[in-house]
Structure 1
Amino acid sequence: MVNIQQLRKSFGRLDVLKGVDLALDTPGIKAILGPNGSGKTTLMKSILGMVIPDSGTITVAGDPIRGRWDYRSQLGYLPQIARFPDNLTVRELLHFVADLRKEEPHWDPLVERFGLTPFWHKRLGHLSGGTRQKVNIVLAFMYDAPLLMLDEPTAGLDPVALQSLKGLLREERARGKRIIITSHIMDFVEEMADEIVFLLEGTVYYQGTPQALKDRYGQSRLEPAIAEILRDPYAAPRPVAQRSAHHNGATRPISSPQTILS
């Protein structure tokens, strides 16, 4: 559904995106990862039309997005930091957003799922950060958008709300939605993501499954595998034996960096 070709973006002398090629066209949950400054936010905002690339193309559902805004009706967006007037109540905010779109919103099941009924008439400025995040999740999911873009969706959520979010994501994935997330919580990514796109210095360093990345670094969990990349991205992965890791009593070799730089 989203295809990106040779996307480039600079801010002054800083090259943020350096010819990104990326296809996000199959259903499922895709996690865009990378260290600070790798281009994650710029890439997300480019897809949303909030940043205009210097060159390259982005297509959504087969149509280029440059100079167009109508494609946004196909998106549900959860920003990392959402700013709404503090004097609005939860009810007023949802109705305000609904008045801006032609589609019929469906927020009742989401309000119930995330326990927001007691806060329906509370002003946003009186809500905790976690409760505000629940409101933001409702805003992102209340239209039946085929593409969902979620920037740090777990921020501020308690364990109950986190389980509700995971359940919602699984349901939407089962319905064939394309879901793009960013997150610094590797346990969440490992559990939920079907595919990882790892950005480094404005380019796609790795695209593939979490399991394939763990296998290449001989790790049983995603977080240590990511840490291996960040320690020295262009060094060959160390053999498992050097990490004192064994599998069925034998060490397993790991592929060369060329297989990871894809």
Structure 2
Amino acid sequence: MVKIKNLYKKFGKQEVLKGINLELKKGKVTAILGPNGSGKTTLIKSILGLVIPTDGEIYVKGENVRDNWSYRKYIGYMPQIAVFPENLTLKELINMLLDIRKEGYNPNIKDDFIKHFKLEEYMDKKLKNLSGGTKQKVSALITFMFDPEIYFLDEPTVGLDPISSSFLKDKIREQAERDRLVVLTSHIMSEVEELADDIVFLLEGVIHVQGSVKEIIQSSGEKNLERAIAKLMEKKYNA
């Protein structure tokens, strides 16, 4: 569904991505991991069209995305920190987005998120007055309510209470079961182990390890993903 061929990105003299080749398949949750400076944010923003690669190709549903922004209609993006028009109420934000983007809108999904996140009481409140956790719920709501085919979720459960986090995790897994493509990042390895099917682990702009969660844990000889990733990093930096 998303195919990346020989992707490079430089910022000045700094080479951030160094020939990435990757295929992201629907029906799976893929976690893109790596320490700060590994290139994962640049990779994701390149796919989203927020960063223009220096070289290489990106295909979404078989179409080259270079100079072609129509593919974005297939994508739902939940950033780590969402920026909203602060003087709008939540109701006004939803109505504005519906005016801009009607394709894919699913009122049942919207109502389900509003109900489980208990957002009814915030509908007439200004977005600037909402807590960080409530803004995170709003970000999830507007990402999922258009029922996209492809999800990019950056630290999706940050700031959520356990009940809301569990609900969102169920929805993330549900999308994979519906044959959607879900790509997420998280620094919480127990969460990645719970949610992800596959791991793409970047170091210094290259794919250092790629495989299923189970394969990576087993090959490391460790008992969980957090220890497996720590072992990979120790081997790299102590080599």
What TM-score, normalized by structure 2, do the two folds share? 0.95
Q: How far is 1:223 from its partner?
A: 0.6
Distance 2:16 2:151 in 1: 24
The residue number in structure 2 matching 1:211 is: 214
Distance 2:105 2:129 in 1: 25
Q: Deviations over 1:143-168 (max 9, x none)?
A: 12110110110111110110010111
**Which structure carries more helix by proportion?**
2
The residue number in structure 1 matching 2:64 is: 64
Q: How does 1:42-57 map to 2 (within 5 A)?
A: 42-57=42-57
Distance 1:104 1:175, change over 3 A: closer
The residue number in structure 2 matching 1:139 is: 142
The residue number in structure 2 matching 1:188 is: 191
Contact 1:10–1:17 (8 Å) recurs in 2: yes
Distance 1:16 1:88, change over 3 A: same
The residue number in structure 2 matching 1:161 is: 164
**Are positions 1:172 and 2:175 aligned together?**
yes
Q: Secondary structure at the match of 1:150?
A: strand
Residue range with higher mean Cα deviation, 84-93 or 37-46: 84-93
Q: Deviations over 1:185-219 (max 9, x none)?
A: 10100011000000110011111111111111111
The residue number in structure 2 matching 1:6 is: 6
Contact 1:98–1:104 (8 Å) recurs in 2: no
Contact 2:117–2:137 (8 Å) recurs in 1: yes
Distance 2:192 2:218 in 1: 16
Q: How far is 1:229 from its partner?
A: 1.5
Contact 2:104–2:148 (8 Å) recurs in 1: no
Q: How far is 1:104 from its partner?
A: 5.0
Q: Deviations over 1:57-99 (max 9, x none)?
A: 0000000000011100000110111111211111111111121
Distance 1:176 1:141 in 2: 15
What TM-score, normalized by structure 1, do the two folds share? 0.87
Q: How does 1:220-231 map to 2 (within 5 A)?
A: 220-231=223-234
Contact 2:26–2:182 (8 Å) recurs in 1: no
Q: How far is 1:221 from its partner?
A: 0.8
Contact 1:15–1:202 (8 Å) recurs in 2: yes
Distance 2:183 2:214 in 1: 18
**Are positions 1:78 and 2:78 aligned together?**
yes
Distance 1:137 1:225 in 2: 29
**Following superposition, which runs of at least 4 residues in structure 1 exceed 4 angstroms of deviation?**
none
Contact 1:7–1:18 (8 Å) recurs in 2: yes
Unaligned runs of 5+ in 2: none
Distance 1:99 1:37 in 2: 38
Q: How far is 1:105 from its partner?
A: 2.1
Residue range with higher mean Cα deviation, 225-234 or 31-40: 225-234
How many pairs are equivalent? 236
Distance 1:55 1:80, change over 3 A: same
The residue number in structure 2 matching 1:38 is: 38
The residue number in structure 2 matching 1:151 is: 154
Contact 1:16–1:38 (8 Å) recurs in 2: yes
Residue range with higher mean Cα deviation, 46-55 or 111-120: 111-120
Quick one: which amino acid aligns to residue 99 of structure 1? D
